[in-house]
């Protein structure tokens, strides 16, 4: 019989830890751009973390590159909180900038009104992506006094000079300039990043603006140097110091900010306060399109709204987390399709688990579960902590997550009602999976059934179909099968399949779900084979219809719950090469069809039913 034993603690959900490293747990290590190596994370003040992440310049809707950055740091924020830290997370809005002013002048809108409007749209995007709200979200326009005070201090310390109402930072007077980016001062160009043009009045071409004198059509504020507005870099130095002090733990942003923005921030912060120190500089990789950085300035970007019009926000978040945060992601519709499929699988599994456990929720603990499930939870628990503590390897966690999900499906297949160890096993697995999904930001506030319905609606949108149209085609196919018109039924199934709609034949009828299956099935069936083979038979007569049905059974778990028998699968002998050719979805976003090319370093999608095997969607 099954041996049972006491379950392990579930990811510390019953009690918080602080910093990891306790009772054999791994210590959190983070890659520090300054030292170019992983370092054990030790905050300046025990139990408290100060984190500043450079925010958006809100002059338009945010693109997927922004989503990448803020999902990455949301994961760090969530994991630090899980480890028991109190995190003071600051993410700013750069609401005074040349790009905002230029856009406002074109539209005839007040610059601050325009930036305020797009700031609100950005926050909506972050909510949809399930990014937690930072502790503080300051705007530059609300901190002009702090910025002017810092500039005064830099001038007083001999690291800045004034020219006709402009104030420039003198890189020659800061000997450590270039220490973050590794650039030689002689190689630096004026301003960098395209935000500051060459000014021949400057003492060194690399000097950058702290204060810009007023110009017609631009917002301005009074200052000791005359009316004007802040430069780009000083804004973040002043706001981070205001909320976190001159020394704090984590300063983050995209890799494109290392130079000039963060290099200049570091220089001016130290010039204002020589004791200023940031412990860990953390930077995320880019999102590329056609192997080129995706950005507004290159006009090759897709906004978050573009993507979430056709894909569930959870699928986008999953997609972004499938690559380590320091690596670049190459955007393809194939990877987003795979991410959407994984999210559907997770929520389908959780829904059926919830339905099975609903009658037994009261008074059920997790003190006695089968030993094999107990070991799986322990291994997953240890692997989760090891992967996250090793510089936030979320991609490994997402792969490993398929094991407890598969265990839930296996337990559901054996579920026969009131069998205490099995009930407790499902309870423990469910709690473990949901706990990890919550830390990763993948646990929706909507119910599982609501998320599944939302995923189906997005699939219909990508397919250009309504659910009524799909159901009509299912009816037409059912009639064709009854009439043994298998060529016609095959065509219906294949046409839906090519659009990302998978049909599954159940005892009570045919259902559909969103999917990009590895191969297209056939209805060209030998009726005698239906009684001569079992669903899992691997004989040479087993067809593509049966193979796909078995795969979908693993992925969407249409197996028994509450004493419902597993569905019987039909057989077919159509194994033509054409029926096994994967179909590509050229999902349209606006007028652009996203390609299917992938970078060699992008993670290969995993088969949810077998995480050790790459799926055919890779």
- Contact of 59 with 101, CB cutoff 8 Å: no
Residue ranges with strand state E in 473-554: 501-506, 509-514
Rounded Cα distance, 31 and 35, in Å: 8
Helical H runs in 464-525?
Answer: 467-482, 486-498
- Contact of 243 with 209, CB cutoff 8 Å: no
Q: Express each pLDDT in 362-405 by its tens digit.
A: 877 777 788 999 999 999 999 999 999 999 999 999 999 999 99
pTM: 0.81
Return the CATH architecture of domain 27-309.
3-Layer(aba) Sandwich (3.40)
pLDDT at position 197 is: 57
Query: Regarding predicted confidence, which is higher, 148 or 6?
Result: 148
Query: Which sign, positive or negative, has the C-alpha torsion 607, 610, 612, 613?
Result: negative
Q: Is the pLDDT of residue 508 over 50?
A: yes
Tokens coding 416: 């026969």
Q: What is the mean pLDDT of the chain?
A: 82
pLDDT at position 35 is: 98
329-330 vs 287-289, strand pairing mode: parallel
Average pLDDT for 23-29? 83
Map out the domains of the chain as residue ranges.
27-309, 328-447, 464-518
Q: Is the pLDDT of residue 257 over 80?
A: yes
pLDDT at position 527 is: 35
Q: Express each pLDDT in 584-614 by its tens digit.
A: 222 323 322 222 222 223 333 333 333 333 3
- Contact of 183 with 189, CB cutoff 8 Å: no
Q: Is the pLDDT of residue 14 over 60?
A: no
Rounded Cα distance, 387 and 127, in Å: 26
Q: Give the pLDDT band (50/70/90) at residue 541.
A: very low
Rounded Cα distance, 372 and 584, in Å: 39
Domain 328-447 belongs in CATH node 1.10.730: yes
């Amino acid at each position: 019989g099954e041996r049972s034993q006491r379950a392990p603690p579930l990811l510390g959900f019953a009690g918080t830890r602080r910093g990891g490293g306790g009772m054999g747990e791994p210590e959190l290590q983070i890659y520090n751009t300054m030292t170019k190596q992983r370092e054990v994370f030790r905050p300046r003040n025990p139990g408290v973390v100060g984190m500043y992440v450079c925010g958006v310049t809100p002059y338009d809707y945010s693109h997927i590159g922004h989503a990448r950055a803020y999902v990455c740091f949301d994961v760090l924020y969530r994991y630090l909180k899980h480890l028991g830290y109190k995190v003071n997370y600051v993410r700013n809005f750069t609401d005074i900038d040349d790009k905002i002013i230029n856009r406002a002048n074109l539209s005839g809108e007040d610059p601050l009104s325009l930036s305020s409007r797009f700031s609100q749209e950005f926050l909506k995007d972050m909510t949809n992506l399930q990014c937690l709200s930072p502790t503080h979200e300051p705007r530059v326009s609300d901190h002009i006094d702090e910025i002017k005070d810092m500039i005064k201090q830099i001038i007083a310390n001999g690291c800045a000079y004034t020219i006709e109402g402009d104030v420039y930072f003198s890189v020659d007077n800061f000997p450590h300039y270039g220490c973050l980016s590794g650039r030689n001062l002689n190689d630096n160009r004026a301003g960098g990043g395209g935000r500051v043009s060459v000014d021949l009045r400057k003492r060194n071409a690399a000097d950058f603006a702290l204060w810009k004198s007023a110009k017609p059509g631009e917002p301005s504020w009074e200052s000791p140097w005359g009316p004007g507005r802040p430069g780009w870099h000083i804004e973040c130095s002043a706001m981070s110091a205001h909320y976190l002090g001159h020394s704090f733990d984590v300063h983050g942003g995209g890799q494109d900010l290392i130079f000039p923005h963060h290099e200049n921030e570091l220089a001016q912060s130290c010039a204002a306060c020589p004791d200023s120190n940031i412990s860990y500089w953390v930077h995320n990789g880019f999102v590329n399109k056609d192997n080129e950085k995706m950005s507004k300035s290159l006009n090759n970007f897709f906004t978050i709204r573009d993507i979430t019009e056709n894909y569930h926000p959870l699928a986008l978040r999953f997609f972004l987390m499938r690559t380590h945060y320091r690596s670049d992601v190459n955007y393809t519709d194939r990877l987003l399709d795979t991410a959407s499929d994984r999210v559907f699988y997770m929520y389908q599994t959780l829904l059926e688990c919830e339905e099975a456990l609903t009658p037994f929720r009261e008074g059920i603990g997790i003190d006695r579960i089968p030993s094999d499930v107990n070991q799986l939870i322990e291994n997953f628990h240890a692997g989760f902590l090891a992967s996250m503590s090793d510089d936030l390897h979320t991609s490994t966690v997402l792969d490993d997550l398929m094991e407890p999900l598969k265990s839930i499906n296996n337990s559901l297949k054996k579920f026969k009602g009131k069998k205490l160890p099995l009930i407790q096993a499902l309870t423990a697995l469910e709690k473990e999976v949901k706990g990890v999904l919550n830390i990763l930001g993948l646990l929706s506030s909507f119910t599982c059934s609501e998320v599944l319905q939302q995923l189906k609606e997005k699939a219909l949108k990508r397919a250009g179909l309504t659910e009524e149209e799909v159901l009509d085609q299912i009816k037409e196919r059912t009639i064709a099968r009854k009439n043994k018109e298998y060529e016609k039924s095959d065509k219906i199934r294949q046409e839906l399949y090519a659009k990302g709609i998978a049909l599954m034949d159940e005892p009570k009828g045919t259902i559909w779900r969103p999917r990009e299956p590895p191969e297209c099935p056939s209805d060209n069936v030998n009726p005698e084979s239906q009684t001569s083979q079992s669903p899992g038979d691997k004989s040479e007569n087993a067809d593509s219809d049966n193979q796909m049905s078995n795969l979908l059974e693993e992925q969407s778990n249409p197996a028994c719950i509450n004493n419902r028998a597993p569905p019987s699968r039909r057989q077919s002998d159509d194994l033509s090469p054409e029926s096994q050719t994967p179909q590509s979805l050229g999902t349209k976003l606006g007028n652009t069809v996203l390609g299917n090319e992938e970078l060699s370093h992008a993670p290969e999608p995993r088969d949810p039913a077998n995480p050790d095997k790459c799926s055919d969607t890779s």
